[in-house]
């Protein structure tokens, strides 16, 4: 321990002496090591999550100069969104992010300047339009700089990863009048009475009735599955689940409502081209939004676990929007 303290003190004295000999150590460092870079590129990706409380929001972008001295003359910078880099990013990072859609963003300026004697461009705004984002999932936008000055290649491009969540559901529920249940894993045909327990009661518009998987004559465990044909293809943004409640108290049942689920979509009922997993709280109403809205006619719900980790599951009402 004494050796370490002595070494530290010795280094401090050496540095102090050095400072006394040369108060501007940086004056001996050549400007040739200076580079231009995007500070946001330090995080790859640079993630931004918004709530859709307004139609638009913005992200600051810009470029900096890193060197021993401020630049002696202006450095001109060009910024360009480059969608062609998305595939490379996904391949290198084992991701599958879609590019931020055209029309959903705008760079405030495509060009700027790091003025002589300064170390950065003015802060610029990347504006994002949420109404152009079809889902609550992540979208990727690479923004790169070009300049005549030397660039730090690792920090040439910022990969902006952007998502925007709904604070409430802005979509109308689909009309279910023509919907058909094309399959289900099981239902309770007798134990809940003649007008309850069947799969069709998840679509009957009555929150007091419900689909329950079988429990009287047999007790099949999860996964539990129900498949819906909406009869027409439409853009599916999400689903809404009404949970079963206690008849006496009106409180949500502690067991049986869906917990860990998987949603799949299809246009023909044969090829299921979209899959997404969700975890639900035990609420009377649960609303889930797909990461990326899908054109679909069919959707299939797989319930892998239920609230209370019981073998059965139940849904009072199942809606889509």
Mean per-residue pLDDT of the chain: 91
The pLDDT assigned to 32 comes to 66
pTM, entire model: 0.85
Non-local (6+) Cβ contacts of 9 within 8 A are none
- Is residue 235 located within the same domain as residue 298? yes
Give the residue from 138, 165, 192 where a domain finishes.
165
Q: Which of 165, 193, 228 is the last residue of a domain?
A: 165
Does 60 map to a domain? yes
> Where is pLDDT greater, at 11 or 179?
179
Number of Cβ within 10 Å of residue 297's Cβ equals 17
Classify residue 207: in a domain, yes or no. Answer: yes
**Same structural domain, 153 and 214:** no
Q: Within this chain, do residues 213 and 295 fall inside the same structural domain, yes or no?
A: yes
pLDDT value of position 241: 97
Q: Can you give the CATH number for the domain in which 288 is found?
A: 2.60.120.260
Mean pLDDT in residue range 43-49 = 98
Residues 201, 153 share a domain = no
Structural domain range at position 282: 180-320
pLDDT for 33 equals 75
pLDDT, position 159: 98
> Is residue 138 in a domain?
yes
Residue 49 lies in a domain: yes
Q: Are residues 196 and 158 part of one domain?
A: no
**Of 16-20, 125-129, 237-241, where does mean pLDDT reach its minimum?**
16-20
Answer yes or no: do 107 and 214 share one domain: no
Question: What domain count does the chain have?
Answer: 2
How does pLDDT run across 90-146, given as a tens digit for each residue? 999 999 999 999 999 999 999 999 999 999 999 999 999 999 999 999 999 999 999
**pLDDT given for residue 34 in this prediction:** 87
Are residues 213 and 147 part of one domain? Answer: no
Q: Is the pLDDT of residue 3 over 90?
A: no
How does pLDDT run across 59-89, given as a tens digit for each residue?
A: 999 999 998 889 999 999 999 999 999 999 9
The answer to whether residues 159 and 41 belong to one domain is: yes
- Find how far residue 60's CA is from the centre of its chain: 20
One domain, residues 225 and 156: no
Confidence of residue 11 (pLDDT cuts 50, 70, 90): very low
27 in any annotated domain: no
pLDDT on residue 67: 87
Overall average pLDDT of the 253-276 stretch: 97
Q: How many CA atoms lie within 13 A of 146 on its CB side?
A: 5
Examine the domain organization and report whether 231 and 305 are in the same domain: yes
Is the pLDDT at 13 greater than 90, yes or no? no
């Amino acid at each position: 321990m004494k050796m370490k303290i002595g070494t530290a003190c010795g280094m401090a004295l050496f540095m102090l002496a050095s400072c006394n000999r040369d108060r501007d150590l940086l004056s001996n460092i050549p400007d040739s090591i200076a580079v231009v870079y995007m500070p946001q590129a330090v995080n790859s990706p640079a993630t931004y999550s918004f709530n859709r409380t307004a139609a638009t929001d913005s992200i600051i972008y810009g470029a900096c100069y890193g060197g021993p001295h401020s630049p002696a003359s202006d450095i001109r910078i060009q910024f360009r969104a480059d969608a062609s880099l998305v595939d490379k990013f996904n391949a290198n990072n084992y991701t599958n992010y879609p590019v931020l859609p055209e029309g959903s963003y705008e760079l405030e300026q495509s060009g700027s300047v790091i003025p002589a004697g300064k170390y950065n461009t003015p802060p610029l705004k990347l504006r994002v339009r949420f109404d152009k984002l079809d889902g609550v999932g992540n979208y990727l936008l690479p923004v790169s700089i070009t300049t005549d000055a030397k660039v730090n290649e690792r920090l040439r491009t910022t990969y902006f990863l952007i998502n925007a969540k709904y604070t409430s559901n802005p979509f109308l529920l689909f009309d279910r009048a023509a919907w058909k249940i094309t399959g289900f894993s099981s239902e309770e045909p007798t134990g809940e009475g003649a007008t309850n327990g069947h799969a069709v009661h998840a679509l009957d518009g009555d929150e007091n009735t419900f689909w329950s998987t079988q429990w009287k004559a047999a007790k099949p465990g999860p996964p539990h599955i129900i498949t819906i044909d909406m009869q027409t293809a439409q853009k599916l943004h999400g689903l809404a689940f009404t949970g079963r409640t206690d008849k006496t108290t009106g409180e949500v049942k502690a067991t049986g409502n869906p917990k860990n689920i998987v949603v799949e979509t299809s246009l023909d009922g044969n090829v299921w081209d979209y899959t997404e997993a969700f975890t639900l709280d035990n609420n009377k109403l649960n609303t889930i939004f797909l990461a990326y809205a899908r054109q679909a006619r069919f959707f299939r719900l797989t319930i892998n676990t239920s609230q209370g980790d019981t073998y059965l599951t139940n849904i009072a009402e199942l809606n889509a929007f």
